[in-house]
Structures are given as structure tokens and as C-alpha cells.
Amino acid sequence: MFEHFEFGYPVIDKIVEIKKGKHARAIKSVSLTENFFADHFPKFPILPGMLQLEGMVQLGSLLVCVSKDFKYTTVLQTIKDAKFRKYVKPGDILVIEAEILSLDTNSAIVKTKATVDEKTVVSTKQIIFGYLPLTADQVTKERKRFAHLGGFDV
């Protein structure tokens, strides 16, 4: 979905709120028809923790890119203090939130959490991103992809 961001699996279904330089919220509707449930785990299907983190990284990356006017893409550097609290099962609506803690010329620090029924299922204290510049054509592409997820042109 995000060719330049190189997401392996698009976890986010829809952006429901984004405030440039501040925070963002997105949703993931967890469906039993998703491919990974065949292996994880057939008799006790749960959303893999790495995909939960991937959704948090995706949303954090989008928030940083929006906040930097799409002039940069992000490079994941570190995830600090990820804590898993509950299983995420088919039928759950995962609400992912990201908040910018720091946004400077070389890096960004984002705090994230994901909830189901307003109960935290996973959180991170910090996700640290570096930046890579984009060309004008890449900026246009990323704005279109962002709009496709329900984001707006900022």
C-alpha cells in the first residue's frame, strides 16, 4: 500500500483523526479471514504482536510525515518499552493512537498505544524515527496514499 514507506503488511485500515505535529488515531478491524490466522494460531487465533507494533509504527510514521509536510519518509530506529497486555482476537476493532513527543531536524519520537473496547492492549513509551528526503514526485504519491486511508491533504 505504501510503496515508499515499504510497509510489509498494511495494518491500518483507516485514519480517523490526525492533527499535524500533535497526534493521530487509526483503526484496524481484525477479521478471521486474514491470512496470518491460518498459522497464528489455528485453534486460538490472535493478532500477532508484531503486527500490532507494525500498525503503531505505520501510524507514527504517517504522523511524522504529515507533520513534516511529506518532505521526508521515516526510517524506524528504535522501539522502546513495548508492553503487551491483552490478546487481540478476530472481531475486535483495534484503535491505534500516536502522539508526537519530539520533532526535530534529525529525528522524531512518538508515543503509541492500541486499545480494544477502550482497554489498552499494547503500548510503547517511544518509537524513534530518522528521516530520508523525498523527491517532489514521491511527495505527490505519498499525499495520495495518505488520502486513500481517509487522511486529508494538509
Name the residues annotated as catalytic. Answer: 40
Cα distance between residue 74 and residue 43, in whole Å: 37
Cα distance between residue 44 and residue 154, in whole Å: 42
145 neighbors 11 (Cβ within 8 angstroms): no
Q: Which of 70, 64, 37 is nearest to 51 (CA)?
A: 37
65 neighbors 130 (Cβ within 8 angstroms): no
| Amino acid, res. 140 | T
